[in-house]
Structure 1
Amino acid sequence: LRLARLILAWGRGSPFGPKNAGQATSLAAELAHLIDSAETEGVDLSKVRDLVPDRFAEHWQHTLSFLEIALDYWPQELAERGLIDPAKRRNLAIRAETEAWASNPPAHPVIAAGSTGSIPATADLLKTVALLPKGAVILPGLDQALDARGWQAVGPSHPQYGMKQLLASIGADREQVQTWPHAKPSTVAKDRAAFLSDALRPAETTDAWSGRDARAFDQAAATTGLTLIEAPTPREEAAAIACALRETLEVPERTGILVTPDRSLARRVAQELGRWDIPIDDSAGTPLTGTAPFGFLRLLAVTASEGLAPVSLLDVLKHPLTALGLNPAECGQRTRELERALLRGPRPGPDIAGLRHVLAQTELEQDKKDRLVDLINRLDAAVSPFLECYDLHELPLRDLVDAHLRAAEALAVSDDTTGADRLYRGDAGEATALFMETLLASADSLTAMEPLAYLRLLETLSAGQMVRPRFGQHPRLSILGPLEARLLSADRVVLGGLNEESWPTAAPIDAWLSRPMREELGLEPPERRIGLSAHDFVQAACGADVIITRSLKVEGAPTVASRWLLRIDSLLKGAGLKDGLTPDTSYLNIAEKLDEPKSVVP
């Protein structure tokens, strides 16, 4: 929000500036990401001034003008408050530990495991650990099967790019890395790793595939325990995954995990497992914006901004949290009466006055009219202070948030429970309360904002906020993101959502810097994330029992299989397996039978 305030101040003197606080908050989120990226990678962002103007389009010059906020005003803001950026603080803490160990090596063993050194400060720490008398760095998934020509050609989108960069930082050759003496990988894991290494080799070295036959690698060993499921739609994909995970539980002590970056697929699988009353832990959690408490707050902001328009008003009144001091069932009954009597014809005038005007002109039984008058009076008392905020051109953000929360709690109060108790109960309620408390604590950063920009501000700040349940999850089944799955294993691993732009996701587009600009500044190319994602895929795919799934269509549009799947299929076909990795339909058939009626009566 402090960045948003600086952006608003800059925008007053620029024709390209944001029009309101909502737009400024969106820009602030993108700018904060750029600042964190520069700090993380150890890049001096002030070098952006040295970029040659003639090499870039005119609109980039406006971008450079905007970046002065990050170069000048933001550092001044932090200095005045005695603060530093979180990424800078992390780097300083890591470098302090690095210097301490370098100058005074600890007498005890130091083992650094599981890190790819993607952050330069971390890479320096790993280098120091490797040089300690009793230090050791354990590299996760270093590919020692790839030939020297392939290793030399490894680029940012390759699974081994991070490992190559880390070894270069440490000053070690790949041949110097020893196998961990206590590691005992299975034959399947070793064969699968060698196969995937060949399948995902750099594109410019795939000519090494030519002339190979089935004897070039153990084809049977490479594909044993590797199953492909191609489902017609995400719904069938989720159902098949749920059946595969449910089958895992038939064997005592056997464990299973779903690894996917597709949160929509993860939620579908969790819902499918619900048919067997299996609660499953999604490590990514549930988006705060998808929870009932935050959704209630958002709907209230929508209907206030629309002057109690019928559709948005009914969204609020029919929400399970709305009670207006009544029994929730009674409130629901009166809401249905209000809808039938007032909201199914011409649209009423704005706000409470519009509802009262229509009610006064509507002929109803006196008893029913009295109930609706009482309901509207309760609604008036609950939301009018919040609605009055929208009559102002500008007001402090703190006043707007405070009025919003008071209105929400007044709407949620029932005949036997306070609004706060109903609104903030459970994990989702606590997360919503924490988010709003944080917003309220930071609200003084925006002393004046337009009420109509409040909804966008809420949506921008809540994006990416997750709610994670603390209890009641299954001990043998989990849903993990690729990051969380790096150091975990299970008897059965399902890799879901293997479509382009799902896994891997598309290379992110920088809102501020073009590729040439990033290159001149020394920032990593966007494809670096694809390389990290590829490394996660390879690690997860080396299990003894791996199921890979994808949907042939998403929202009615055909999909493209993940580039990694296409590589695997191409290598298998080139090695003599005519159909490549043949899809398995058994789990799809089981899922279809689950919803098939026992009989059809004409």
Structure 2
Amino acid sequence: MSALRKVYTVSPGRPFLQALATAILDGHFVGGAQFKPDAIGLSQYTLLLPTRRATRTLGAAFLDASGGRAMLLPKIRAISEGQEDLGLLMRGAGLGGAAELEMAPAIGSIERQLLLTQLVMKWSAALRAQDDSDMDVGARPGAETPAQAAALAKELAQLMDVVETEGVSLAGLKDLVPEEFASHWSATIEFLKIVVDIWPVVLKGEGKLSAVERRNLLLKAEAERLRTLPPSGPVIVAGVSGSIPATVDVLKAVAALPNGTIVLPGFDRSLTAQSLKLIREAHPEHPQFGLAKLIEALGVVPGEIEELPGDVPDAALGARRSLMSEAMRPASETERWHDFVAHSDAAAMAAGVSNLALIEAPTAQDEAEVVALILREAIETPGQTAALVSPDRNLARRVTARLETMGLQVDDSAGRPLAKTPPGAFLNLVIDAWAEDFEPRALMALLKHPLLRLGLPVAVVRRAARALEVAAFRTLYLGRGLDGITLALDQAKTEVGEKRRRQRAVVRLWEPDWAAAHDVVTRLRVAYQPLLALARDTEASLVVWADAHAAAGDALARTGEIVAGAEPGQVAEISKLWHEEAGEDARQFFDDVQAASAMAPQLA
């Protein structure tokens, strides 16, 4: 160890990036307050953070810690420790220097999915050709449909990501299972040959790397660059937990630099070396497992890790941390609890848990409602902040949706799947309505979506949708397709005229309401023409279907607004489906499918 500490940690309860920014501005990483970086000197720092989100947030943290004064920010780069950041490595991560320019590009996720789907379909066809048994279709191994093949391909992709992330080989798979189970295991081995034998050849033929492999190579190149061409200014790796083995090389290279520092997230300094050894060897479920492995790989003694200088949380929060640490102590060391109880300050412990609460909700919806109300109360309290930390993505989405009904927009650090965004949900409803032959439930869900416009004002399309529902669907409906809806509307109007239908809602429909309902059906027919035309095409590929899907969604979402400065009477070809970040992601999804057209399987 040099005169300056090489490894620090920021304890739970302190805002990590805010503490990091404050420590840098206070000169803690270069010798103390007399070496505080000025507005220009800060640009000499290099910071490596785990994710792109962290890099964006750190910029705001510097602004806040400096009191808003102008300054040149450090070089801040993400080493993409999170799975969601693999896309960064496909476009260039700024790691590895010149090595990145010489590296093959990463294969896109859609392209990989389509290639693997084709391989699964070919493997399944070959398997069925060899199988002359009378086994039921549903019980046969392999994929019977493109949808099943796509599901298997997704599982294979996830397996490959895990294997490549851990840097292990699948070469010894066949020897994992005892001989008496070999006949059952052989079918799995044959399937996994897609990953072990076939996929590397296919990837090489495409001249590309997997995103995970490219990330690993970039991290190794960055570690080598730091060793051979060390930066002149301070280098700080912060927030990296070592969950990806390849990041350990980067941390070792930084620790070897005379001006290198590592800041660990939430390392428990109360754990002894023996406790950490037990956690590494027998407790992968422990929250300190990853950090325990990391400090061993770095050769760091736990006692050498100090708290990052700065504001320290109050005693009550420290007592809570101690209690949580003891509660998760390895089972073989729980005899230490007696000593902990004997030497703990009961009043401090009581203060540490004074504002903790246990809520037992009867249903998942009630649970989300309670959490949303707690967060809302925090937002309405001046100076108070709040966060929901949960591994349950469904809970997070329910809470987010509930807060949005209250008019509150929240920042979900895990992001939101495209299918859960308004454009993604709308596109799902578009294809669902067509696949269900415009049955009432599917069609009304589409007509009530905020993005559906059909070239009409919002009030007009909503009123027309209500008229359609009241007239055609609030009675016995046996029709199919858009033609069936048209016939149902005509029959409903006849029955009302002959006074055979007396429901108050349908009797109160005016002539413009009937006309609007028919107009909506006509506009639906026009908008869905790309998909309706494909219903009779048994040779269409996935790309053709995707193009038709996007075209139908685009037509359904057109607003019919007049473009500013356009010729009188000209109707704008504006579709709000592709607006904002979620809409751009939806557009990118279809562009990626189009770009991978050569790999798209037939859907017949």
TM-score class normalised by the smaller sequence: 0.5 to 0.7
Distance 2:474 2:276 in 1: 68
SS, match of residue 221 in structure 1: helix
Following TM superposition, by how much is the alpha carbon of 1:2 offset from its aligned partner in structure 2, in angstroms?
A: 1.5
8 Å CA contact 1:53, 1:61 repeated in 2: no
8 Å CA contact 2:530, 2:548 repeated in 1: yes
SS, match of residue 262 in structure 2: strand
For residues 550-585 of structure 1, the C-alpha deviation after alignment (integer angstroms, 9 at most, x for no partner) is xxxxxxxxxxxxxxxxxxxxxxxxxxxxxxxxxxxx
Instruction: Say which is worse superposed, 100-109 or 162-171, in terms of deviation.
Output: 100-109
Alignment-mate amino acid for residue 202 of structure 1: P
Alignment-mate amino acid for residue 341 of structure 1: A
For residues 72-127 of structure 1, the C-alpha deviation after alignment (integer angstroms, 9 at most, x for no partner) is 22112211121001111111111112223334554443332222212111112212
8 Å CA contact 1:288, 1:428 repeated in 2: yes
Alignment-mate amino acid for residue 328 of structure 2: L
Following TM superposition, by how much is the alpha carbon of 1:242 offset from its aligned partner in structure 2, in angstroms?
A: 5.2
Alignment-mate amino acid for residue 13 of structure 1: A
Residues 1:112 and 2:215 are matched in the alignment:
no
Distance 1:111 1:367 in 2: 69
Task: Quote the residue 1:6 is aligned against.
Answer: 119
Distance 1:54 1:79 in 2: 34
Task: Quote the residue 1:540 is aligned against.
Answer: none
Residues 1:196 and 2:341 are matched in the alignment:
no
Matches within 5 A, 1:41-120: 41-52=166-177, 54=179, 56=181, 58-120=183-245
Residues 25 and 272 (structure 1), Cα distance of their counterparts in 2 relative to 1, 3 Å cut: closer
Alignment-mate amino acid for residue 343 of structure 1: F
For residues 369-404 of structure 1, the C-alpha deviation after alignment (integer angstroms, 9 at most, x for no partner) is 655544433322221331232333341112111111
Task: Quote the residue 1:289 is aligned against.
Answer: 419
8 Å CA contact 1:324, 1:414 repeated in 2: yes
Following TM superposition, by how much is the alpha carbon of 1:252 offset from its aligned partner in structure 2, in angstroms?
A: 5.5
Task: Quote the residue 2:457 is aligned against.
Answer: 327
Instruction: Say which is worse superposed, 300-309 or 255-264, in terms of deviation.
Output: 255-264
Following TM superposition, by how much is the alpha carbon of 1:10 offset from its aligned partner in structure 2, in angstroms?
A: 1.3
Residues 1:378 and 2:523 are matched in the alignment:
yes
Task: Quote the residue 1:423 is aligned against.
Answer: 577
Residues 1:224 and 2:351 are matched in the alignment:
yes
Matches within 5 A, 1:160-239: 160-175=288-303, 177-180=304-307, 182=309, 185-186=312-313, 187-209=315-337, 211-212=338-339, 214-226=341-353, 227-233=355-361, 238=368
Task: Quote the residue 1:402 is aligned against.
Answer: 547
Following TM superposition, by how much is the alpha carbon of 1:197 offset from its aligned partner in structure 2, in angstroms?
A: 2.2
Matches within 5 A, 1:252-401: 253-267=383-397, 269-270=399-400, 278-359=408-489, 364=494, 372-401=517-546
Aligned length: 448
Distance 2:467 2:346 in 1: 69
Alignment-mate amino acid for residue 164 of structure 1: A
Alignment-mate amino acid for residue 311 of structure 1: R
Q: Which has the higher contact order (CA 8 A, sep 6+)?
A: 1
Alignment-mate amino acid for residue 132 of structure 1: L
Following TM superposition, by how much is the alpha carbon of 1:225 offset from its aligned partner in structure 2, in angstroms?
A: 4.1
For residues 43-98 of structure 1, the C-alpha deviation after alignment (integer angstroms, 9 at most, x for no partner) is 12333244356264644322211111112221122111210011111111111122
Matches within 5 A, 1:29-48: 29-48=154-173
8 Å CA contact 1:411, 1:419 repeated in 2: no
Determine which of 436, 456, 465 is the counterpart of 2:590: 436
Alignment-mate amino acid for residue 342 of structure 2: R
Residues 264 and 50 (structure 1), Cα distance of their counterparts in 2 relative to 1, 3 Å cut: closer
Residues 76 and 255 (structure 1), Cα distance of their counterparts in 2 relative to 1, 3 Å cut: same
Distance 1:415 1:111 in 2: 53
Residues 228 and 332 (structure 1), Cα distance of their counterparts in 2 relative to 1, 3 Å cut: same
Distance 1:264 1:231 in 2: 18
SS, match of residue 139 in structure 1: strand
8 Å CA contact 1:396, 1:444 repeated in 2: no
8 Å CA contact 1:124, 1:169 repeated in 2: no
Distance 2:483 2:294 in 1: 67
8 Å CA contact 2:268, 2:288 repeated in 1: yes
Unaligned runs of 5+ in 1: 451-602
Task: Quote the residue 1:139 is aligned against.
Answer: 264
Alignment-mate amino acid for residue 80 of structure 1: G
Following TM superposition, by how much is the alpha carbon of 1:289 offset from its aligned partner in structure 2, in angstroms?
A: 1.8
Distance 1:301 1:274 in 2: 26
8 Å CA contact 2:320, 2:352 repeated in 1: no
SS, match of residue 258 in structure 1: coil
Distance 2:264 2:359 in 1: 36
8 Å CA contact 1:308, 1:350 repeated in 2: yes
SS, match of residue 111 in structure 1: strand
Alignment-mate amino acid for residue 357 of structure 2: I
Give the TM-score normalised by structure 1: 0.66
Instruction: Say which is worse superposed, 395-404 or 416-425, in terms of deviation.
Output: 416-425
Instruction: Say which is worse superposed, 110-119 or 361-370, in terms of deviation.
Output: 361-370
Alignment-mate amino acid for residue 120 of structure 2: I
Distance 1:156 1:169 in 2: 16
Give the TM-score normalised by structure 2: 0.66
Distance 2:237 2:360 in 1: 44
Distance 1:21 1:318 in 2: 31
8 Å CA contact 1:409, 1:419 repeated in 2: no
The sequence identity of aligned pairs, in percent, is 37
Instruction: Say which is worse superposed, 360-369 or 349-358, in terms of deviation.
Output: 360-369
Task: Quote the residue 2:22 is aligned against.
Answer: none
Calculate the aligned-residue CA RMSD, in Å: 3.2
Distance 1:238 1:401 in 2: 35
Residues 167 and 274 (structure 1), Cα distance of their counterparts in 2 relative to 1, 3 Å cut: closer
Task: Quote the residue 2:246 is aligned against.
Answer: 121
SS, match of residue 538 in structure 2: coil
Matches within 5 A, 1:492-511: none
8 Å CA contact 1:316, 1:322 repeated in 2: yes
Distance 1:282 1:166 in 2: 28
Alignment-mate amino acid for residue 321 of structure 1: L
Residues 106 and 4 (structure 1), Cα distance of their counterparts in 2 relative to 1, 3 Å cut: same
Alignment-mate amino acid for residue 304 of structure 1: W
